[in-house]
Amino acid sequence: MEMLINVPETVVADALRGMAAAHPELAVDVENRVIVRKDAPVAGKVGLVSGGGSGHEPLHGGFVGPGMLSAACPGEVFTSPVPDQMVRAAAAVDSGAGVLFVVKNYTGDVLNFDMAAELAEDEGIQVAKVLVDDDVAVTDSLYTAGRRGTGATLFVEKIAGAAADEGQPLERVEAIARQVNENSRSFGVALSACTTPAKGSPTFDLPSGELELGIGIHGEPGRERRPMMTSAEIAEVALDAILEDLTPRDPVLVLVNGMGATPLLELYGFNAEVQRVLGERGVPVARVLVGNYVTSLDMAGASVTLCRIDEELLRLWDAPVRTPGLRWGM
């Protein structure tokens, strides 16, 4: 196993210590596994809390900061955080305006955030929840009932985070988050398997010269396995799947996301093909984001996410943001 780590047992704690040293604007509780904006709670502001298994960085801890999340709860690698983390995060960011939980549709995350919401409400914290389920590749998987939550999580956290920073009430922030999710669809492809520190070997068998279409961010199987395809061919397949399920009535946000081991040279080339296909299909593009944002450790591959937007959602997308993983306008 060739990894830049000490031992598998401390990989998350070590990463959190390093994050704390790199980002003094964040309060990183290594022992309790909670990352919070240092200025939280902000008076009159809805708190935004998300979280999930580690291994998807910068999701979620890298999206904590002005214009996005108030706090994040990292679990062990590919393992849901526990309710105690979520309650601690909610209490740290609650200003009395309520807290919105942004939850990816994975069984462990859903169950633990549901339990955390009940516990937080017992402590007098008003909580709302939004479930992200944007992946069109499969209906059910090893980790989910229903569609998986993938790239649209970034869109939900950014746009709802901007609304919360404007002082919009909990009901409105929740409605905006739901609108973003309902108008987003994603599709991913793996060129290689990922390797978890604990296992030390690939999490699934993907022979050389083959790829997996519709992969999940934990390496869950997709729709089918095929011989290696060109970037142009992959873009066609991914967007066929997305546009079969999403009819763009408005311009779209586009996320071309690397799965962790795909260099920007390849991602920008893939984006060129994505833009070509969208142009051929007559889909207007409002904004494009290219990079590694919702990853799967060292998996090679990419995902595409489209989100239909109106003028209000675009305004919120363009609003300033300052986090370790995403920043503009500040």
User: Which of 23, 37, 56, 60 does the annotation list as catalytic?
Assistant: 56
Q: pLDDT confidence of 189, banded at 50, 70, 90?
A: very high
Is residue 60 flagged as an active site residue? Answer: no
Residue 219: the pLDDT is: 80
Q: What mean pLDDT is reported for the chain?
A: 96
Residue 203: the pLDDT is: 81
- Give a three-class secondary structure readout of 228-275: CCCHHHHHHHHHHHHHHHCCCCCCEEEEEEECECCCHHHHHHHHHHHH
Q: What one-character DSSP code corresponds to residue 64? A: B
Q: What percent of the chain has pLDDT above 70?
A: 99
Comparing 1-10, 121-130, 135-144, 185-194, the range with the smallest average pLDDT is: 135-144
Is residue 218 flagged as an active site residue? Answer: yes
Q: In which residue are the tokens 């095929």 written?
A: 226
Q: What one-character DSSP code corresponds to residue 195? A: B
- Residue 39: both structure tokens together: 């200025």
In the predicted model, is pLDDT for residue 1 greater than 90? Answer: no
Region 294-312 average pLDDT: 97
Predicted model pTM: 0.97
Which residues are within 8 A (CB) of 62 and not within 5 positions of it... i.e. 6 or more apart?
A: 323, 324, 325, 326
Residue 89: the pLDDT is: 98
Q: pLDDT confidence of 319, banded at 50, 70, 90?
A: very high
Q: pLDDT confidence of 76, banded at 50, 70, 90?
A: very high
Q: pLDDT confidence of 145, banded at 50, 70, 90?
A: confident
CB 53 within 8 A of CB 30: no
Q: pLDDT confidence of 249, banded at 50, 70, 90?
A: confident
Q: CB neighbours (10 Å) of residue 285?
A: 15
The more confident residue out of 326 and 140 is 326
In the predicted model, is pLDDT for residue 138 greater than 90? Answer: no
User: Which of 218, 256, 270, 325 does the annotation list as catalytic?
Assistant: 218
Residue among 277, 286, 275, 280 nearest 311 (CA): 286
Query: Residues 19-35: pLDDT tens digits?
Result: 999 999 999 999 999 99
